[in-house]
Each structure stands twice: as C-alpha cells, then as structure tokens.
C-alpha cells in the first residue's frame, strides 16, 4: 500500500482481507474506509475445497 501511494496510484486491490470483522475495523481505523468492497458468495462445498487447496501450497 505504501508503494502504491508513493507511486501515485489512486487505489489498490487487497485480496482475501479482512477475514474477520475485527481486521476490517482495524483497517478502517488505521488506514481508511474502503471505497468499494466486492463480496463473492460461494456454497460450503466450494469454500471447503478452497480451504483444503490452500493447505497444499
């Protein structure tokens, strides 16, 4: 984020964050509220498969 600001970027994408409400609250307090949030809804099976695949990395 610092590099994006220094380079004059008007925005950036944060993937996979926040995972918990407290993280979102901390981000808003320490950085700022986001201008846009994209929420992808997935069924439990898909979420389970994604979590299991993360362990392989």
Quick check: helix, strand or coil at residue 35? coil
Taking the domains of the chain in order of start, what are their residue ranges?
A: 2-56
Q: What are the structure tokens assigned to 33, written together?
A: 């509220």
What sign does the CA torsion over 36, 55, 57, 27 have?
Answer: positive
Q: Which two tokens stand for residue 36?
A: 């846009």
* Cα first-last separation, the chain: 25
Q: What is the pLDDT of residue 57?
A: 59
CB 35 within 8 A of CB 11: yes
Measured in whole angstroms, the distance separating CA 18 from the mean position of its chain's CA atoms is 5
Q: What would the pLDDT profile of 9-49 be if each residue is shown by its tens digit?
A: 777 788 888 889 999 999 999 988 988 888 888 999 998 99
Q: Categorize the per-residue pLDDT at 1 as very low, low, confident or very high, splitting at 50, 70 and 90.
A: low
The reported pTM is: 0.54
């Amino acid at each position: 984020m610092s590099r994006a600001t220094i380079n004059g970027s008007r925005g950036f994408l944060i993937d996979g964050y926040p995972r918990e409400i407290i993280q979102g609250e901390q981000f808003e307090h320490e950085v700022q509220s986001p201008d846009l949030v994209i929420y992808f809804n997935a069924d439990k099976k898909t979420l389970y498969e994604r979590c299991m695949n993360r362990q392989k990395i």
